[in-house]
Structure 1
Amino acid sequence: MAARKQRSEPAVFIVNPQAGGGKSEKQLKQLLEEIASIYGNAKIQYTERKEHATELSRAAVKAGAELVVAVGGDGTISEVAAGFFDANGKALKPLKQAPALGILPAGSGSDYAKTLGIPRSSAIALQILQTKKTRTVDAGLIDFVGNNGKKTKRVFINIADVGIGGEVVEILERQGKKMGAFLSYQIATLRGLIGYKNKNLEIVLDKKQKFDGEYNGIVVALGKYFGSGMKIAPDAECDDGLFDVVMLGQMSKLEMVAKMQKLRKGTHIYEKNINVYRAKHVSIRSASRALIDSDGEMPGECPAEFTILPAAIKVVVPPTN
């Protein structure tokens, strides 16, 4: 077999060593050796805490990296993508000068990678990186109340939601994913439903279309999947400049459980009490505490404003994407 030609472009790989419950040392070593054989001068950095990936990514963007790769699950991908922006959601560099975001799925959840057609196989994902084919995609900015009680902002790249999703993520953060992504999400969802009460919400789309009432949850989607493979927004396109807003209306716990399989297939959008709209801006207020899920993390609660950041970031994708 011919020796691989090393690439000279600056590349930074940001690795979450705890992704997927902590990849085995052998698996991680093999992956890093493969990276080194292709990107000989690449910088490999490890995350040590929450939001550390954003700090590392932001430093790489400012230093002029041409490729910044997230090695991990949806949380790591989201944090690395957030590093392309400042704390107020403003791009650090014009799109033409900004690096591309690369994705090597290595976590328990790979929902955003699935939307982009990037497989779970690290070997194939590495081959995709080498094609350098990029797709310019949207991001979203949330203005909300953080867990510290202060108003804050956060960039997301896949899906954010208010209501049952935030409750499930809060439970998931406590219980962990030791049983694997799919089973862990299923258990957290069932646990969340047991004590969950539909929220009295006020939703305003593009500052003109208003909805009031009891809702199970409101999903603000750029990608199609969340919750380890649930096709929550089957018609969403991550580069159309619009959120797909999936409104899960008032429903009982039994109704929600009965719809789980349809949620996974994406056929739930044809059910009564579920409606889909498209918007560039979404405002959500709640009469009671309503938690937010942002790319699989629970950063705070309502009131919240969601604003589209169109054509915000370049992502390396498969040649057929």
Structure 2
Amino acid sequence: MRQFTAVVNPTAGGSASAAALLGVARLLREAGAELETEYSRSLEHAKELALDAGGRGRVVLAVGGDGIAGGIGGALSGTGAVLGLVPAGRGNDFARALELPTEPGELAQVLLQGEPRPVDTIEVESAFHDRTVVLGSVYAGVDALANRHANHAKLLRGAASYYAGGLRAVTTWRPAHYRVTVDGKEHPHTGYTVVAANSGYYGSGRLIAPDARVDDGLLDVVMIREAPRRLFFALMNELRTGAHVRRPEVTILRGREIRIEADREVPYGADGEVEAVLPVTVRVLPGALRVLC
């Protein structure tokens, strides 16, 4: 029987993390599994807790949103430890990409009986030579600004906070001049954003890269060019289904190493965490993490 350590982000989705864990925890214990719970004080603390538990051979459960899932998954990347997800945040986009159930009974069965699946992770290297590893995507531009607004929203939750943040970001955005280098080949780009996607989803269920796969050893690079604002709002709506990829303003490349630079200070985000600016280099780490799904 598996032994679990749940690392909980008590701020993700208000009380949603505790509520989500309670339903699953009861079912895990009733099945005979051992479960210990740790509450993180910060993302760095969550990573430390996860590494300690993984080093003891326990399955680490990331309880919260994409920020804690990406932080813990990144910390466990390359260690051989097994990660389980209990989605309880605003977006839950990596869990969505893995098609994880949200109903407690179904999720408990995945955690108890699912086989660990090797998935790719993303190594992120900033201009200051800081290195981190995340799961879903790295995005630089108006979406990162929108994500920052959503993170600071007090009255809205989930998709509503992302949509409101997007409206606020687009109304003030000036197209940036990017230099995007994919596996050594340079691609000039002027527009709204550049996304290096391991998972197809970001921004609370928006299908930014419909053909992205978490286990193919590649990143999908989505670039949205300069366009009238009314067209960009139409593109935002099309992100719900992935229909935006048919627009001539959207270019998609694929590669293993991507460097993103810009002619001015442009924010970038990684799995919901938005506290950095370009330039940034990202690399895919094929099959570096084992996830129950």
TM-score normalised according to structure 2 size: 0.94
1:240 Cα deviation from its structure 2 partner: 0.4
Match of 1:198 among 175, 180, 184: 175
Give the aligned CA root-mean-square deviation in angstroms.
1.8
1:11 aligns with 2:1: no
- Deviation of 1:39 after TM superposition, in Å, equals 5.1
Q: Which residue of 1 aligns with 2:131?
A: 153
What is the distance in 2 between the residues matched to 1:311 and 1:296? 22
Matches within 5 A, 1:5-84: 7=1, 9-23=2-16, 29-38=22-31, 40-65=33-58, 67-84=59-76
Question: Which string of whole-angstrom CA distances, capped at 9 and with x for unpartnered residues, describes residues 97-149 of structure 1?
Answer: x221111112221111111110222332111111132221100111114xxxx
Q: Give 2:263's aligned residue.
A: 287
Of 229, 246, 251, the residue aligned with 1:270 is 246
Compared CA separation, residues 99 and 195, structure 1 to 2 (3 A) = same
* 1-structure distance, mates of 2:161, 2:42: 22
The correspondence for 1:125, drawn from 94, 101, 107, is 107
Aligned-pair CA distance for 1:29: 4.0
- Unaligned runs of 5+ residues in structure 2 are none
Aligned twin of 1:224: 200
* In structure 1, C-alpha distance between the alignment counterparts of 2:112 and 2:23, rounded to whole Å: 18
Q: Which moved more, 1:216-225 or 1:257-266?
A: 257-266
| Match of residue 109 from structure 1 | 91
- Asked if 1 retains the 8 angstrom alpha-carbon contact of 2:146 and 2:166, the reply is yes
How many equivalent pairs are there? 293
Contact 1:203 1:212 in 2 (8 A): yes
Whole-Å separation in 1 of the counterparts to 2:105 and 2:62:
14
Deviations 1:170-229 (A, max 9, x none): 2122224x422011111011011111111111011001x211131210010011111111
Is the 2:260–2:279 Cα contact (8 Å) retained in structure 1?
Answer: yes
Gap regions ≥5 residues in structure 1: 1-6, 86-90
Q: What corresponds to 1:296 in structure 2? A: 272
Distance 1:39 1:163 in 2: 47
- 3-state SS in 1 of match to 2:222: strand
User: Percent identity at matched positions?
Assistant: 27
Counterpart residue identity of residue 82, structure 1: G
The aligned amino acid for 1:53 is A
Does structure 1 retain, via aligned residues, the 8 Å contact 2:21–2:63?
no
Distance in 1 between residues matched to 2:187 and 2:22, nearest whole Å: 51
8 Å CA contact 1:20–1:109 kept in 2: the answer is no
Aligned partner letter, 2:56:
A
